[in-house]
Amino acid sequence: MRPLVLGAWLATAAPGVATALAPTSVTLIGDLQSELGCASDSDPTCATTQLTLDASDGIWQKGFSVPAGTWKYKVAIDGSLAETYGGPGGADITLTLASAATVKFYFDPVGHWVTSDKNAVIATAAGSFQSELGCPGDWQPDCLRTWLQDPDGDGLYTFTTTALPVGTYEMKAALNEGWTESYGQDGGSSNLSFNVPAAGTEMIFTWNSVTKKPTVREVGAPVGDIVQARAQWVAPDTLAWSPENAPEGSTFRLHHQPDGAMRLTSSGIQGGESFTLTVDPAGLSAELKARFPLVKDALALKVPQAELARVPEYLKGQLVVSVTPPGGVLADATSVQTAGVLDALYAYTGPLGVAFETGVVGPTLRLWAPTARKVDLLLFDSSTAAQPSSRVAMQAGEHGVWSVSGDASWKNRFYLYEVEVYVRKEQAVKLNQVTDPYSVSLAVNSTRSQMVDLRDRALAPSGWDTVQKPALEAPEDIVLYELHVRDFSIHDSTVPEAERGTFKAFTRDSNGTKHLARLAKAGVTHVHLLPVFDIATIQENRASQSQPAGDLSTFAPDAEEQQAAVHAVRDADGFNWGYDPYHYTVPEGSYSTQPDGSVRITEFREMVQSLNQRGLRVVMDVVYNHTNSSGQDPQSVLDRIVPGYYHRLNGVGNVETSTCCQNTATENVMMEKLMVDSLVTWAREYKVDGFRFDLMGHHMKANMLHVRAALDALTLEKDGVDGKAIYLYGEGWDFGEVQGNARGTNATQLNMPGTGIGTFSDRLRDAARGGGPFDDARYQGFISGLFYDPNGFAQGTSDPKTLLLQHMDRIRVGLAGNLRDYSFTSVEDKAVKGSEVSYNGSPAGYTLDPQEVITYVSAHDNETLFDAIQLKAPRNASMDTRVRMHNMGISLVALAQGIPFFHAGDELLRSKSLDRNSYNSGDWFNRLDFTYQSNNWGVGLPPYDDNKDNWPFFKTLLADPALKPAPAHIAQALAHFEEVVRIRKSSRLFRLRTAAEIQQRVRFENTGSEQTPGLIVMSIQGDAPAAQGEFEHAVVFFNATGEEQRFTAEAFKSQALVLHPVQQESADPTVRTASFDSAAGTFVVPARSTVVFVKNPASSDDGGCDCASANGTAFSALGLLLGLSAMLRRRHAR
C-alpha cells in the first residue's frame, strides 16, 4: 500500500492547525444504528453511536455490542452527512458477525481510515521511540499515535513519521492494543532494532500480516542494508536467505571484498567482485533446516563448484549477497552471517589457550581465529609494562588455529594477542589487542592474560592432591546452600580485614565458617557459590573501590538516604552478583587478596579444600549463556577475535540480548567447545563438585548432554576427580529468541527430563509464596495466608479458596519430586498425573526422576523469603506468626523429594530491606550477620530503580518497629532450619531415589474437593521391618493455618507412630505439643507447624537427630527392583 504520514501528525502538527482540522464529533452511521439504540439508521446526529476521542493518541474510538448479522457502516463528521468516511472511495464498510460480539470501531482524523477490530487487525508499532511521538510512555501497544494502518486492505500495515530524533530504537508490531500477540525481528519474539540517521528523516514502519515480519527503514534509502546480515552461509556450498523482494527470474550474486570497501548505493553494490549463486529448488536439506531453524524456510543459494576453493579467502573479508530482478534494478542486498560455514570448515577438537605439555620445555599457545588475517603474540615483562617486550608472529594452521611455542622463560609471563580481522559492523579491518578467551590467569582487572601451568605445585595448597570429598551416595542426598563470596565475610569481624570478602575467608575459623560447619552437621551438603569466574563489572583493586558516603546506620529504617548513597557508588564499589562474564576460566580477582596474577588460583583451591574439610562440597554458578560485552567494546574478548561467531545473532545479524546481555551461541561448535573445555578445567583443576547453569534454557539440550559426557569421562585414576559425581542443574526457563525450540531443542524444564540434569521448579515456589516474580508482591500463597488469613488485598481471583486448593495440588506435585507421572487425587476429585496439574497453562509436574528437580522458595533473585512474607502476611500479623510462615516455606523445601535449595540467610530470616533485585545494591542491602543479631530488615528503602513503584507501601512496613525481628526470632528460624534438614538427613524416606519408589511409597491424605484448606498430609511408606537406622513409615503434616488441626484417617489406626526424635527435642515448644492417638487414628497438629511422625524411630547415640543416611540396604529387594531401570541410567554421586 502507499504509505501515509499518519499517527505522528497529531503529536507534531502546529496546535492551531490541529485545532482547525480536528472534528468536534465523529458518529458511527449505518444500518446497525437502530440495533445500537438510535432512533433510526444512517443518523449522523445520534449521540448513542458517537465515537470518543482518545486525547492521548488522537484517535476516535469506541466499542459497541453488535448483534449477529451483516452490517454496513461508515462515520459522519460533526453531526452531518456532508463529510463522511468509509472504505475505498467512501463506500460503506461491510461487517459480518456469525454471533453477537463487542466490536471496537476506529477513525483516524488525519488519514481518514475507518475500521473495526473485526474488519482489520489493529496493529501498533510499539517500542522504545513512542514517547518521542507523544505517547505517555514507551512500549505501549495501546497508544495509537503509532498505529500501523492498511486502508487499501493489501495486508501491508504502515506508519510513517518524520518526528523521531537521531538515535537507535527497538520495536515490535503489537496486535489488538496488547502484548498477547506481537511480532519482532523476522516475525519472532526478539525486538527489531533500527536507526534514525538524522533529525527529520522520514521513517516508514511496515508490518506484513502474511509473513508477520515488521520492517523499519528510511524512506528513499537504497533497498537493502549491508551493515545488517539477513543471509546465513550455512555450509561451504550453501547460503540461506529470504529477500524482501525476489521476483521470478531474479539473479542472486555473492559479492566479496577483502577490506570492507563495498558500499550500497541507489544504483546497487559498489566495489568488490561477485559471482552468481543458483537457487536450489529443493531448498535447504533436512539437516541444515534442523541446524539453522531461523532460516529453515529461506531460499537455498548454491555456490559454484569453481568458487569453493576460495571460500576460506572470502570469509576473511566483506561479504554481501544481492538479488536483482529481470529489469536490472537491485531489489535487495544484505551482509552474511558465517557461523555455519565456519563450523563446517574449521571445527576443532584439540587444545586451545596455553598448554605446558609433557616433554616440552616451554608453553605452546593456540588461538582459534579462522577469519583472522594475521595474529601476533605480544609478550610483557610485567602486568603493568607499558609496551610489550617482544612481538612473536603466530603461525596459521589447520582448522583455523594459530599457534606459537616458547621457551621456559615464557612461564608466568603476561601476554595479549594482536588480531587483524574484518569486522562487519564496522565495515572495516580492525587490529585488536585482546586477552586469551582460554585464559587461566590474569593481571588485575583482566588487562592481560598470564601463562601459568595449573599443574604447577606452587599453585596448589598443601594436601591438595589428597583432598577427600564429603560422602555422598546419590544426588537425592544433596542439600544446596546458595552463597555469595563477598556476602559471606565482608562484614565478619572475626575474619582478618584484608581477607574479608575473599576466597581466603573460607579458610579461617570465623563466625561464618562455624555457621557453615553447623549447617553441614545438620545436613547441608553443597555450597553453591554465585559467580566466581572473572567478572567484568567489579573493580579488582580494593584500593580503588569506592564506599558509600556517610554513616548509613544513622538514617531511619524507611529513609531514602541509604539507597542514594549506595547508588552513587554502585558501579565503583566491590559488590556485584557477578553475572557479567569476562573470562570464563579464571577465578575472580576481587575475591583474591592479590588480584594481580596467579594468587587467585591458589586461594580458590584453598577455599574448595577448606569447605570440603568442613563437610561441604562446592558448586559453581556458571554463566556461559552470555558475555558482558560484544563487538569492539574494550571488554569484548570473543567478538574481537572471530567477529560475529560466538554470539547468537538475530535475523539481521545483531546480537540477541534476551538474557540481559550479549547472548552467546552455544549451538555453534566452538562456543560449545569453549563451554565444555572451561567446565572440565574447573572440575579437574579446581575439584568443583557441581555446576549451576544460569539461564540454562538458552543453551541447547545437546550442549548439556555433551557437558555431561565430558565430565563423566573424568576419573579419579586419570584426573583426580570422579566426574560422574559432579551434579548439574540450571534455570530451565523458556523465553527469548530460543523459546519453543526456535533455535533447536533447548535445555528447558520440559525438554530435560530423562537426562539426570536438574532444573529449578517455579511451581512449588509460587504456590507456597503466592503470585509470581512479575505479580503484585501482596499476592498470598499456601504459607502466607491465602484464603485462611487474608491480607485485605485483592488476590486476582473471586474464589481464593479454590486458588488455595489448586496451589496445594501444585505443592503436592512438588513434594513428590515434581514428577510428570506421579498420580494422586486432585482438588477436582480426579485421579491425575503431575503433568495434568496446571501451572499457568503448563504442566506442574515434568520430571522423570527426583534428581531432576531443584525445589526452592527463595534464591538470590527476587525478594528473600522473609521479605516476601513481610509483604504478603496480614498487616496485623505478629512477628511470631511471620516467622512461622517463613519456617513453613523452609519445611516444604527440606522435606520434598528431589533436591532442596536454600538461599544463604534463609535460615536467619535474611532481609534485603525489601529489595527485589539486589544484584548491584552493595554490601549494605546484601548483608549477612553470622552473629545472629540482625537480619538486615529496615536498613532503608531499597534502591529506587527496581523498587520505586512500591516505595509508598514499603515505607509503611519498614517504619513499623513491630516488623523488625529480634535475635530470638532469628534463633527460632535457625533452629527450625536445622531441625527440618536433620529430619531429611535422618531417613532415606525423605530422599527416595527413583520415580518408581516415589509412586510406590508417597501418598497424600486430605485431598479432593472436601479437604481441609491449608493442611497438606504426606505419608511415606518404608520397609517393614525397617533396616537399622530407618523408619517403617513417616507421616508429614504441613499445617499452614492459624488453627490447630485434627486429622483422622482409618489407615493410621493402631499404628505405632510417634513424633520424630528431632521434634521430640525441638526448640519449638509448639511443635512438641503435637500428638497422635493410635486407637482413633487421630493426629493433633498445632497451628502454623510442620510435624513429622515416624514408626520405629532409629536408635542411635543422638536419637537419630544427626545420623548419617542409611545405605542401600535400607530398602527391600522389591523397592530396589522397582527403581532398577531408572537407577541404571542415572548418575549417582560417589
Considering its fold, how many domains does the chain have in total? Answer: 5
CA distance 17 to 10: 10
Whole-structure pTM value: 0.87
Q: What's the CATH number where 280 sits?
A: 2.60.40.1130
Whether 669 is in a domain gets the answer: yes
Give the pLDDT of residue 689. Answer: 98
213 CB-near residues (< 8 Å, 6+ apart) = 183, 186, 187, 207
Q: Distance between alpha carbon 971 and the CA centroid of its chain, in Å?
A: 34
Residue 434 lies inside a defined structural domain of this protein: yes
Q: What is the DSSP letter of 889?
A: H
**Same domain, yes or no, for 851 and 729?**
no
pLDDT tens digits, one per residue of 994-1053: 999 999 999 999 999 999 999 999 999 999 888 888 999 999 999 999 999 999 999 999
Q: What is the pLDDT of residue 21?
A: 65
pLDDT given at position 20: 42
The residue segments making up the domain with residue 45 are 9-218
Residues 763 and 789 both lie in one domain: yes
- Strands of 647-744, DSSP E: 662-663, 690-693, 727-730
Place of cell 603461525: 395
CATH code of 1068's domain: 3.20.20.80
Location of C-alpha cell 556485584: 576
Q: Do 354 and 338 share a structural domain?
A: no
Q: Is residue 1108 one of the residues assigned to a domain?
A: no
| 613 occurs within a structural domain | yes
DSSP 8-class letter at 221: P
Check whether residue 176 and residue 132 sit in a common domain: yes
Domain identity same for 341 and 352: no
Catalytic, 731? Answer yes
* 15 and 117 in a common domain: yes
pLDDT per residue as tens digits for the range 1053-1068: 999 999 999 999 999 9
Could you say which of 476, 487, 606, 694 is catalytic?
Answer: 694
Q: Which amino acid is at 220?
A: G
Residues 170 and 287 in one domain: no
Q: Is 177 tagged catalytic?
A: no
Residues of the chain under the 50 pLDDT cut: 1-20, 1098-1134
Question: Does 369 share its domain with 302?
Answer: no
Residues 20 and 53 placed together within one structural domain of the fold: yes
Q: What is the pLDDT of residue 221?
A: 81
Final residue in a domain of this structure, among 345, 360, 384: 345
Q: Which of 174, 192, 218 corresponds to the end of one domain?
A: 218
Would 945 be classed as within a structural domain? no
pLDDT at position 1097 is: 63
The count of other CB atoms within 10 Å of the CB of residue 1077 is: 13
User: Are residue 82 and residue 165 in the same domain, yes or no?
Assistant: yes
The verdict on residue 916 lying in a domain is: no
pLDDT score for 601: 98
The predicted pLDDT at position 190 comes to 85
**500 and 627 together in one domain:** yes
Catalytic residue among 722, 731, 915, 979: 731
End residue of a domain, out of 345, 364, 391: 345
On whether both 397 and 494 belong to a single domain, the answer is no
pLDDT value of position 1120: 32
Distances (CA, A) of 185 to 164, 194, 230: 20, 11, 11
Cα separation of 546 and 754, whole Å?
48
Residue 744 lies in a domain: no
Calpha distance 752→748 (Å, rounded): 6
| Residue 959 is assigned to a structural domain of this protein | no
Task: Provide the pLDDT for residue 1115.
Answer: 35
Tell me, what CATH number does 153's domain have? 2.60.40.10
If one counts every other C-beta atom within 10 angstroms of the C-beta of residue 982, the result is 22
